[in-house]
A and B are shown apart, each in its own frame.
Chain A
Amino acid sequence: MLLRLGILDNLFFSAKKKAESQSGGLLKMIEVKNLSKNYASIRAVDNINFTVERGEIMGFLGPNGAGKTTTMRIITGYIPPTSGTVRVYGYDVAENPSQAKKCIGYLPELPPLYPEMKVEKYIQYVGQIREVSRDKLKKSVDRAIDICGLSSVRGRLIGNLSKGYRQRVGLAQALVHDPDVLILDEPTSGLDPKQIIEIRHLIKSLAGEHTIILCTHILSEVTQTCGRVAIINEGRIVALDHHDNLSRHLKGTDGYELVIGNFNDGVINAVRGVEGVTAAQKSQSRDNTVYIEAGKEFDPRPGIIRAAVNADYDVLEFKSLKLSLEDVFLKLTADDHGGAQ
């Protein structure tokens, strides 16, 4: 497990914050420590720890009922945890809720919209309760409308908008006060493929300036949008790393495919001799292709190409086969299930 436990002493926080912002270094925007939440008999969140650094898009991936929404509600201060602490920008959400809340923009699973309000009025209202000052309000509203592509519907009633537009209004609402931290709970659920792509682009464009947590049960969303990913299942984080590493680490070995123009069995023997290669065989699924497996400790790629070329084979294609995140996800959540029972 690749959990990072961010330990940040409150006393030193401001000094550290200053030092880090000067060096452009990594500031922990969100710190979740030993977080648990029980509902009556259900343990929805079970001792979760993670930190999110400035400018990062962190994925929060898990099947339905895993505890994603519950975790986000605790981070945003909507519900209190049973135990554990959350710090946002160094402010403890339990002890200093209004300071912490000021730093957060939150798009809940169901966008919190008033159907009888007009788009612009609604965003303005949220801006006001989010303490955008009077002289900046108009600018902030325009900016949020602009970023979310809502200019054409700004005067329309929210109740009459399509689902895609409503989701954008939800996002604009979360952005109006230009928060440091953005928390998005299943922002693409219920949208059509075109809308999904648009929203994902929008989210990606927000990274850097904002620190983002993106909850989803859709794998491709994470690989396309996020850097690090926490995989959560039954209230526990079962893995946490960059999504590239997640697939690699879990597999233990890497696979490669080598496509040869003048293919014959000789190439298999040539490749087998390369340092680091543990197995080589004719691919079952593709013609003229060798399937190669190698250990992780030594990168065999330069050797493989050289061996094939030296033996006068025409290398047409060479690529590494990554275990998809989907495989990792299924593997992890299945393992966890087995362990729990």
Chain B
Amino acid sequence: MKKIWIIAKKDFKTFFISPIGYMVISSFLLIIGYMFYQRLVFFVRQSLISMQMGQPMEVSLNDAIIKPLYGTINLLFLFIIPLITMRLIAEEKKLKTIELLLTSPVTTAQLVAGKFLSALLLVATTLAGTLLFPVTLYIGGNPDMGQIFTMYLGLLMISACYISVGLFWSSLTENQIIAAVLTFVSLLFLWIIDWSAMNFSSGTAAVISYFSVIRHFESFIMGIIDSKDVVFYLTFCVFGLFLSYVGIESKNWQ
């Protein structure tokens, strides 16, 4: 347990040494901040108009700002998480430091857990930057805080799944670009798998859309924590970590 933390901490720090780290996080916050600002301005204008016309507001703060915003965060994660996870194992392989780690009393499972944790902490830190939005809304209005909470929970869970996919690809190559591209393509596939469901009979379609990662995010957006979705994300994540474990061990099969 201690070693998992040592590895996670070191990797977390390393991320902030690299320019890519800052670039990824600052671009994310910039884009999402701009979107928040746009939506906020639009919402305020709309509410001013409806006030002048003496009509009650039709859309709530949550529907107009929060929901689309957190959908966008999810979309952006599709792009930035591959950039965060690409170096996790691939770089250790490239630098041959993997030999150092695996000849120390560190097990492959501890290594996988440490790497996963470092990326998850990083995503959580990035998400923490967006807490400014609900705080702003809370000061100026009355958003549904429960719903915001479930969205953050959902985002963390879905990121954990993305990370486990990224970690897996990173464990198979020493080329970070390849790892990032394969992660992105896999995640995109899991997103759009839902669309192809409509071409199938209802039974098959149900199975296919079950594997769509965003389908399970919908209830979190509604402010519901459904154990079905939680179980899906946890299972997905554990499976991804297991594959990463196998990926690292695969060097032994040569």
Contact = CB atoms under 8 A, between A and B. Distances in A.
Contacts of A79: 251-252, 254
B3 A116 contact: no
Nearest to B100: A112
14 contacts: A40-B254, A76-B103, A101-B104, A102-B105, A106-B99, A106-B100, A108-B96, A112-B95, A114-B95, A126-B104, A129-B3, A129-B101, A129-B104, A129-B106
Interface in B1-50: 3, 6-7, 10, 14, 17-18
Contacts of A73: 99
A303 to B, nearest CB: 55
Interface string A114-139: 11110000000110111100000000
B104 A39 contact: no
B18 A116 contact: yes
Interface of A: 39-40, 73, 76-80, 97-98, 101-102, 104, 106, 108, 110, 112-117, 125-126, 128-131, 173
Contacts of A76: 103
A106 B105 contact: no
A108 B17 contact: no
Contacts of B6: 125, 128-129
B103 A101 contact: yes
Given A106-B100, A129-B104, 6 more contacts: A77-B103, A78-B103, A98-B105, A108-B100, A113-B95, A173-B100
A113 B97 contact: yes
Contacts of B105: 97-98, 101-102, 129-131
A112 B104 contact: no
Contacts of B64: none
Name B's interface SS: helix
B107 interface: yes
Contacts, number: 62
A281 B103 CA distance: 57
Nearest to A77: B103
Interface of B: 3, 6-7, 10, 14, 17-18, 95-107, 251-252, 254
Nearest to B10: A125
B22 to A, nearest CB: 13
Contacts of B96: 108, 110, 112
Contacts of B104: 101, 126, 129-130
A78 B18 contact: no
Nearest to A37: B254
Closest 10 CB pairs of A and B: A112-B100, A76-B103, A112-B97, A98-B105, A101-B105, A129-B104, A128-B6, A110-B96, A116-B17, A108-B99
A114 B95 CA distance: 7
A76 B104 CA distance: 9
Contacts of A108: 96, 99-100, 103
Given A98-B105, A130-B104, A78 B97 contact: no
A138 to B, nearest CB: 16
Contacts of B101: 129
A57 B3 CA distance: 32
A131 B110 CA distance: 14
Contacts of A173: 100
Contacts of B251: 79
Contacts of A40: 254
A97 B104 CA distance: 9
Nearest to A80: B252
Given A40-B254, A114-B95, A126 B100 contact: yes
A107 to B, nearest CB: 10
A31 to B, nearest CB: 18
A106 B107 contact: no
Contacts of A104: 103
A114 B14 contact: yes
A196 to B, nearest CB: 22
Contacts of B98: 112
A55 to B, nearest CB: 22
B231 to A, nearest CB: 33
A41 to B, nearest CB: 11
Contacts of B254: 39-40, 79
Nearest to A76: B103
Nearest to A42: B254
A104 to B, nearest CB: 7
B99 A78 contact: yes
B107 A98 contact: yes
B247 to A, nearest CB: 16
